[in-house]
């Protein structure tokens, strides 16, 4: 995908959103699990507390003793990770064997039931505190403080394992969500791809309007495009009609000026007659050029022109001229060939090139098309290599012995440029000039 691609932008936005969401969710899950692990440890310690309290007795020497047998063997192993301690005011604390010779610290806040304290060897302990009133037979009671603790490392190890597994799970989930987002983006942008294909078909002349059915969000754009295309076609038609009206309107005044020049020449004023003829010719030349430009579709293709048929009709016309009737015309264009040029522009383009070939050919003119390159060749004298680049200059005539104003090839250049095509002049295999028209590579 390109840097400025809409797909890339949407995918990056989805990736960012998924990453932030999963990061927040993963953090929340981790703290929930940690809290759950602490609650589970608290419940286990409370179960141990019940077992421990049930075994507390008062010995004959009035000291507190514990005859409880706790289910977890870590209470019996020195520094085993599970500890209990019974404290009474003015008495030595009673400890589990796992504490060995270490006393657990008093709670920093007696009102707290759960606390993180320092244990043997400085290991952090998760501890619970409970106060128990041990009843005596004479209505009195002895107040005991019982502490049970488990090493925090067990809870932390479980949390680390959960965090690792959670990370793997979230990574897989993020990949699955990204793949789903990519599929959603591709599916969502498919109407735009279809619209691009339909617009390209209009540009290539395969269709006149954008067709198909699109989602409600895209359909207004399609309607606007079709309205624009219709307005363009109408504007082009009006321009051509105005050009035709202009040609008819100027034809009579130019004819009158030529007649006046002949009349003045007949009176012996050859100089003034020549001036009138030259200026009238210049007016005629400019009018013809501007009319040709007005007839162009300005590169806006609305159809695929039938290349073979247009070539055949031009051959039929040119072969009836004095110079064309003695030539062999080879139409080697496939009968089904079409080209993305408006038909009138194609007629203007081919007509100028084939008419130029007619003027110079000795006996043969050939038109070929291989699907990519349109080529017009003749067997005339050709053009010198140093003159090939000058052929398409505006108004240039390489040989004044042939009639015309030299506008044909410059009009061809205007048409080629308007359609974004390339034109190349070179030596023909027939011996004369070869003109090739193609799309740029």
Domain annotation covers residue 139: yes
- Residues 384, 314, single domain; the answer is yes
Structure tokens at 335: 């009968």
- Residues 377, 405, single domain; the answer is yes
Domain annotation covers residue 403: yes
Domain annotation covers residue 329: yes
Q: Which residue range(s) make up the domain with 428?
A: 305-438
* CATH number, domain with residue 355: 3.30.565.10
Q: How many domains does the chain have?
A: 3
- The 10s digit of each residue's pLDDT in 271-290 is 888 888 878 877 776 676 66
- Residues 245, 393, single domain; the answer is no
Among 295, 315, 350, the domain-final residue is 295
Among 295, 326, 350, the domain-final residue is 295
Q: Is 341 exposed, middle or buried (0-12, 13-18, 19+ CB in 10 A)?
A: buried
Q: Is 326 exposed, middle or buried (0-12, 13-18, 19+ CB in 10 A)?
A: exposed
DSSP 83-115: EEEEE-TTSPPEE-GGGTT-PPPPPSSTT-SEE
- Residues 309, 395, single domain; the answer is yes
Question: Burial code of 388-417, b = ≥16 C-beta within 10 A, e = fewer?
Answer: eeebbeeeeeeeeeeeeebbbbbbbbbbbe
- Residues 74, 187, single domain; the answer is yes
- Residues 360, 235, single domain; the answer is no
Domain annotation covers residue 90: yes
- Residues 289, 341, single domain; the answer is no
How far is residue 58's CA from residue 429's CA, in Å, rounded to a whole number? 125
- Residues 172, 267, single domain; the answer is no
CA angle 85, 90, 94 (to 5 degrees): 20
- Residues 309, 277, single domain; the answer is no
Domain annotation covers residue 300: no
- Residues 287, 395, single domain; the answer is no
- Residues 6, 153, single domain; the answer is yes
Edge to edge, the sheet with strand 364-369 lists 328-332, 364-369, 373-378, 433-438, 422-427
Q: What is the pLDDT along the chain (441 residues), one digit of tens a residue?
A: 666 778 888 888 888 999 999 999 999 999 998 888 888 888 888 888 888 888 888 777 778 888 788 888 888 888 888 888 888 887 888 888 888 888 888 766 655 677 778 878 778 888 888 888 887 767 678 888 888 888 888 788 888 898 899 999 999 999 999 999 888 888 888 888 888 888 877 776 667 788 778 887 888 888 888 888 888 778 877 777 777 777 667 777 878 888 888 888 888 888 888 888 878 877 776 676 666 666 555 555 556 789 999 999 999 989 888 888 889 999 999 999 888 888 888 888 898 899 988 988 999 999 999 988 999 999 988 887 777 766 655 445 444 344 444 556 777 887 888 888 888 888 888 888 999 998 765
Domain annotation covers residue 185: yes
The secondary structure of residue 131, as a DSSP letter, is E
Domain annotation covers residue 216: no
- Residues 291, 310, single domain; the answer is no
Domain annotation covers residue 319: yes
Among 241, 275, 295, the domain-final residue is 295
């Amino acid at each position: 995908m390109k840097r400025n691609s809409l797909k890339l932008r949407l995918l990056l936005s989805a990736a960012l959103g998924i990453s932030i969401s999963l990061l927040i969710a993963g953090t929340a899950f981790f703290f929930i699990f940690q809290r759950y692990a602490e609650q589970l440890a608290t419940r286990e310690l409370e179960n141990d507390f019940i077992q421990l309290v049930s075994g507390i007795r008062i010995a004959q020497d009035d000291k507190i003793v514990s005859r409880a047998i706790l289910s977890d063997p870590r209470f019996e192993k020195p520094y085993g990770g599970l500890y209990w301690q019974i404290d009474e005011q003015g008495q030595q604390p009673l400890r589990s064997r796992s504490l060995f010779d270490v006393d657990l610290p008093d709670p920093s806040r007696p009102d707290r039931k759960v606390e993180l304290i320092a244990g043997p060897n400085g290991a952090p302990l998760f501890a619970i505190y409970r106060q128990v009133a041990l009843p005596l037979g004479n209505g009195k009671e002895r107040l005991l403080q019982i502490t049970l603790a488990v090493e925090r490392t067990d809870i932390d190890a479980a949390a680390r394992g959960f965090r690792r597994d959670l990370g793997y799970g979230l990574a897989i989930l993020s990949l699955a969500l990204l793949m789903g987002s990519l599929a959603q983006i591709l599916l969502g942008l498919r109407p735009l791809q279809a619209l691009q294909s339909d617009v390209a078909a209009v540009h290539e002349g395969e269709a006149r309007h954008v067709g198909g059915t699109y989602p409600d969000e895209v359909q207004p754009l399609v309607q606007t495009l079709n309205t624009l295309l219709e307005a363009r076609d109408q504007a082009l038609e009006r321009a051509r009609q105005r050009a035709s009206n202009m040609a008819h309107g100027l034809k009579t005044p130019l004819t009158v000026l030529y007649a006046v020049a002949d009349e003045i020449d007949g009176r012996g004023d050859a100089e003034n007659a020549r001036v009138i003829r030259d200026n009238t010719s210049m007016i005629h030349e400019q009018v013809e050029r501007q009319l040709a430009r007005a007839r162009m579709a300005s590169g806006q293709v609305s159809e695929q022109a039938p290349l073979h048929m247009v070539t055949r009709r031009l051959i039929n016309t040119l072969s009836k001229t004095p110079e064309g009737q003695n030539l062999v015309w080879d139409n080697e264009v496939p009968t089904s060939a079409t080209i993305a040029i408006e038909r009138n522009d194609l007629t203007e383009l081919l007509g100028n090139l084939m008419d130029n070939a007619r003027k110079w050919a000795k006996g043969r003119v050939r038109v070929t098309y291989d699907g990519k390159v349109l080529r017009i060749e003749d067997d005339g004298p050709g053009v010198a290599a140093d003159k090939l680049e000058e052929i398409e200059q505006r108004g240039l005539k390489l040989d004044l012995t042939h009639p015309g104003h030299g506008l044909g090839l410059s009009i061809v250049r205007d048409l080629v440029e308007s359609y974004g095509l390339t034109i190349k002049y070179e030596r023909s295999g027939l011996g004369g000039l070869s003109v090739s028209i193609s799309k740029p590579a």
